[in-house]
Amino acid sequence: MAPRITVDLAPLRESRDFRLLFAGLLVSSLGNQLTTVAIPFQVYALTRSSLQVGLVSLAQLVPLIVGSLIGGTVGDVVDRRSLIAVTAAASCLAAAGLVLNSLAAHPSLLVIYLVSALAAGLTGFASPARNAAIPMLVSPRHLVAAYSFNQIVFQLAVIVGPLIAGLLIASAGIAWTYGIDAASFVVMALAALAMRPLPPEGGGQRAGIRSILDGFSFLRGRQVLQGVYLIDLNAMIFGMPRALFPAMAATVFHVGPTGLGMLYAAPAIGGLLGASTTGWVESIVRRGRAVVVAVALWGVAITIFGFTSTLGVALGALAIAGWADVISAVLRNTILQSSIPDDMRSRLSSFQMAVVQGGPRLGDTEAGAVAALTSTEFSVISGGLACIVGAGVVARLLPRFWAERAGTPEVS
């Protein structure tokens, strides 16, 4: 029988709670992507500095990682549904703070730094519980499909969100852009409250530093799990030049806010195509090798993006990068969630979220710093090449990750 091409709809058909999570996450992700474009646009407009754009992302890094670690240990103890709802309400208030700042006669750069850092911490706090909740909502055989839908949500948001953001910034202004983000978190909170309670399985553990350290101890000797984190960190630090998009839009491609939105959206267009056609991914046996190849392909596409000054070619290269990234993400999440017990899911997911959310911020800083020392184009090209080399290094140093096979548990 030929492998399925399109993503399996079974998680949406069979689980009401998964449908609620899917809907709430879709709306809140769309809103969040508006802010993802609005913050760098506003910072660049205030400072004309790509380095400042990168530093704003760097300011979000520590709160995001700390929030992820705390959220991971709390999510293995409390009802994950309640955690998601409360954090969504708090995120709504943070977005409202950006609205008020943007309405001031002289918007404060410091406020942007502080509020965006708080918002990043809240995102980190909620993400492990959301990710760990998915195996509680669907059967094990539908994990690839469920995490594909997770990627569909993200990629669709990254496509539509930046395009809407560009139009909103150009027509209605920054305040409206931040305001819609605030409203989107209300939808996420209501969707979570409509779900059934999701207390973690097991019991006896307590939230705290010891719980976090137990999570790190679980990783000791497990090359497969280590590889899941390290190869994504490599791709995000070296191959994610999004901090350079405002400068490239202005100086390389000579486009305004709408063109900037297209640059942010292009990787997600490829990612959405990849996530919507992951039926064949379920048949992959050598998943570790597939992840390494996908990350290397991401690096190749980013390198091509750095060499071109033609907008159409650039958008195509970014779309290919997004396709490769989503294949890697679906496989990495499936490897992770099928390899750990439920009472460790939030903690191990928190490490993954710290990488997924923190890696791009380190990448923003790296890209901005290299661009400041050399040039925008050199920063993109060198980062893409470093991503390719890094994928090879991970495969070499972690042979059990390279050899990982579906259905074969790792022996620590």
The string of pLDDT tens digits covering residues 140-182 is: 778 878 888 888 888 788 778 877 888 888 888 899 999 999 9
Residue 189 CA to residue 180 CA, distance in Å, equals 15
Residue 330 CA to residue 327 CA, distance in Å, equals 5
Banded model confidence at residue 131, pLDDT cuts 50, 70, 90: confident
- In the predicted structure, residue 200 carries a pLDDT above the cut 50: yes
pLDDT confidence of residue 409: 61
Give the architecture (CATH level 2) of 10-402: Up-down Bundle (1.20)
- In the predicted structure, residue 281 carries a pLDDT above the cut 80: no
pLDDT tens per residue, range 328-344? 988 888 888 777 777 77
pLDDT confidence of residue 1: 46
Residue 120 CA to residue 130 CA, distance in Å, equals 15
pLDDT confidence of residue 240: 81
Residue 145 CA to residue 12 CA, distance in Å, equals 9
* Residue 207, both tokens: 């939230």
pLDDT confidence of residue 152: 86
Residue 253 CA to residue 264 CA, distance in Å, equals 14
pLDDT confidence of residue 262: 85
Lowest mean pLDDT among 75-89, 309-323, 355-369, 394-408: 355-369
Q: Which residue has the higher pLDDT, 297 or 342?
A: 297
- In the predicted structure, residue 99 carries a pLDDT above the cut 60: yes
The residue ranges of every structural domain in the chain are 10-402
Note whether 361 and 324 are within 8 A (CB). Answer: no
